[in-house]
Structure 1
């Protein structure tokens, strides 16, 4: 057995180890912490996705009226549901494919079976994220950053969540990895996987259309001169996924497909994507002190800097342009979403699918900017993220992006001390927006510009960016390993 294991390529062995470690940790936490302190077993939209599963299993239909009335959600949501997420016809306002995905596990093991389904997807995302990052950073850095990201806030808490975001983590990781493998090999299998990822991410929720578009652009980037031969392989699964989305939407909403595709879950504005918080959510997804990602997961502050540390122009044009395109389009779309706070879920829910891309950029930063200052900053941010992850077990509801709230998480643990006041000062509040928030946003942009300039200058002065654009691009040097 040891001989067979050693015959597996080193990158694949490490991917398997990462998958196994994540599976062990996630499953252990599911058993040890079936409920986080102060919250029910499920939260936010999770019971509403599972009530669809209940209805299919128990009644064989999608009419949820009796399922809510009988409180069939009681075993995994230990509170009364005050707002039914249904239309006038008593069908769910949520896309049903996620509910169908977890159905086999739910039927066998109840909520834990559904959660294990999502855990397997998250573990797969971790393995694929490493397999991509390993092509651009050293194996130790790629593996360490991947494990840290998937075992800390927010992915640690989304690993078992019955949310389309959890499935989207896996699909974006799969789409990114498959397109790189397509670039390496030209095999149609990877074109098929890329199209499957782009199609299914919208099948889980139409709000991921920006990710789907970005994955198609990535396919075009990695197939210059071979597009016609491989386009059919990419389009086939994407088209089938789209057809299934329309079919499922038609089953629940009838001929009013547009209403079904733009349904908005449990929002107080049920029935549409856009609303009162338009525009402010674009920077707010990242920087808002109550609803933004970066104050809770500061290691990802390094992602834009890592994105700028490419070896040469060819490497950027052939691959890395996908990263700002995907992140930017997704933020532009969901930043104008009427409830960009994400509701009763750890913030920032809508950026969770992008974490594989952010982790790859962090790995590149740590690997290519090896100064003491850079590594010290990475260590400090990682320590803060560990602290937030530990605190989240004790005060999960403090991480929720609830409407009309400021940050209560850090106030709970830090009181009104200097650290709390500093965080509240440097991270703006975008709900509502204000001139002060605009000034802080400009300050953040200038700070990033200076940091990117300094990091790239260090990188270039220490041998970076000097490789041949033909024979010595780093990722291709390491294909054999």
Structure 2
């Protein structure tokens, strides 16, 4: 229903990598090959389904006439694309990923047989934002995550073939696939390793033919060189206000508490799952295109998200064994209600639905479902919502440290519950409380200002205006603007309406050369600009921050 509704309204059309997966499907159907360079130049259902004005060209998505994206998804969706074009391919993705709640149910049934828990867990997980909304997108991440989650614990007859598919979905799934093959070899399934080896050789042969390297189009420069950046994105994929797994699916915080129970119940499975988790997380964190480019926010955690079902089920099992099942019901339902905020906001088209290239100094202005739902002002967003988008400031944010400390406290609480150590439980939360008080006192709020590179500059014959590119939250904004002019200037601080009309909020005069210092109140969410009228003007610098 979501896909059909978006299709009818022209919302969330295929963008980013999506058209390029489908263009390979189109090439297979139309030409019988995977060369897409000729398909770039013609009218196709893929081109017609892209946003108005979009076009294909010789860009970063192709090399030597071949798409740089894995062939696996394009081949899987070929029948659906042949039957129904782009919409058919999206429905095909929904059919494949519609197996997700059934796989979650099957695993929960092995741990909690004869109880209603498997049905409840499968329902809540299946309705979580990344799985419900991500299944409408043409990306291999969720499908690969579903395959890896299922092969970790099941004995499917098709397991070797599913494992062999992973490297064809994306090269980054090769290492997790190798870990899974060794795990299944230990469980007396040698065919998984054999077929994976054949598959990897096939991928290497194709990549060498198409791109001149067995590793395909990827080069060393595709990974971030800055360790600080890798750490920031790795943490952000869990905790960032918009990109973080636990912010989009707080349900999985029960899994954080259940880590100790999971390790205690099956340490071998926990070790393998942990290795796969790191093998998925690190390439995504090291990617220079932070958080996944022009795709739904959170896409880089889609492949690893389902692994949190394993400790979540272990925690529920522990509570059932301790006759405290009601605690599990309360926790799951409350957290599911919280993530309903995310789902409700993302179902409505928003500028923050998609990951966009992060501007270096605009983290405090970025909105998200929680900020919109609770109508948080800029300082409130910084106080309550962690943000991992700015390399220079993320490690100095008390909010980020408190969020990380909360995860550690939840994991240690699970250990205390497993061992029945009430003293440890009390000590953990007392330490967290002291840490929150200390960090809140020692580290000030980091409301990073905007500079001229983050703002839009417009210029006329005798005027210029500096404005925010996107709507910002209502608040008071301190604006320091250094300028030069050949004559005295008149300045205005304006509220910019959606139609471009301006309503003056403050008006004043200033000498020919100097520095304006303005406190401009923004009465409601919208764009704000500062305009100068004079002669021969130029702006030397802007410092724009919330009060």
What interval of TM-score do these two structures reach, taking the shorter chain for normalisation?
0.7 to 0.9
- What residue in structure 2 maps to residue 187 of structure 1? none
Give the whole-Å Cα distance in 2 for the aligned partners of 1:77 and 1:124: 28
CA RMSD of aligned residues (A): 3.1
- What residue in structure 1 maps to residue 177 of structure 2? 212
Contact between 1:288 and 1:427, CA under 8 Å: does it hold in 2?
Answer: yes
Which residue of 50, 54, 64 corresponds with 2:26? 54
Which residue of 279, 298, 306 corresponds with 1:356? 306
1:27-426 alignment, distance < 5 Å: 28-34=1-7, 38-40=11-13, 42-72=14-44, 73-79=46-52, 80-81=54-55, 84-137=59-112, 139-178=115-154, 181=155, 190=156, 193-219=158-184, 223=187, 230-231=189-190, 233-253=191-211, 255-260=212-217, 262=218, 272-274=222-224, 277-310=229-262, 313=264, 315-369=265-319, 370=324, 375-404=329-358, 406=363, 407-410=366-369, 413-414=372-373, 416-417=375-376, 421=380, 425-426=384-385
Give the whole-Å Cα distance in 2 for the aligned partners of 1:364 and 1:236: 32
- After superposing on structure 2, the runs of 4+ consecutive aligned residues of structure 1 that deviate more than 6 Å are none
Give the whole-Å Cα distance in 2 for the aligned partners of 1:217 and 1:236: 11
Question: Cα deviation per residue 1:374-431 (whole Å; 9 max; x = unaligned)?
Answer: 6544333211212211211112542212111543233773475279925763413243
Query: Displacement of 1:441 after TM fit?
Result: 5.0
Give the whole-Å Cα distance in 2 for the aligned partners of 1:302 and 1:322: 20
With over 3 angstroms needed to count, the CA separation of the structure-2 counterparts of 1:85 and 1:202, relative to structure 1, is same
With over 3 angstroms needed to count, the CA separation of the structure-2 counterparts of 1:396 and 1:176, relative to structure 1, is farther
TM-score for both structures, normalised by structure 2: 0.66
TM-score for both structures, normalised by structure 1: 0.74
With over 3 angstroms needed to count, the CA separation of the structure-2 counterparts of 1:135 and 1:433, relative to structure 1, is farther
Q: Which runs of 5+ in 1 are unaligned?
A: 1-27, 182-189, 264-268, 463-481
Which residue of 380, 386, 389 corresponds with 1:427? 386
Give the whole-Å Cα distance in 2 for the aligned partners of 1:36 and 1:151: 22
Give the whole-Å Cα distance in 2 for the aligned partners of 1:427 and 1:300: 17
What secondary structure is seen at the aligned counterpart in 2 of 1:291? coil
With over 3 angstroms needed to count, the CA separation of the structure-2 counterparts of 1:126 and 1:244, relative to structure 1, is farther
Larger proportion of strand: 2
How many residues end up aligned between the 2 structures? 406
With over 3 angstroms needed to count, the CA separation of the structure-2 counterparts of 1:69 and 1:452, relative to structure 1, is same
Question: Cα deviation per residue 1:431-464 (whole Å; 9 max; x = unaligned)?
Answer: 32536457555544432333233334334449xx
Contact between 2:260 and 2:418, CA under 8 Å: does it hold in 1?
Answer: no
Larger proportion of helix: 1
Give the whole-Å Cα distance in 1 for the aligned partners of 2:369 and 2:382: 9
Query: Displacement of 1:100 after TM fit?
Result: 1.6
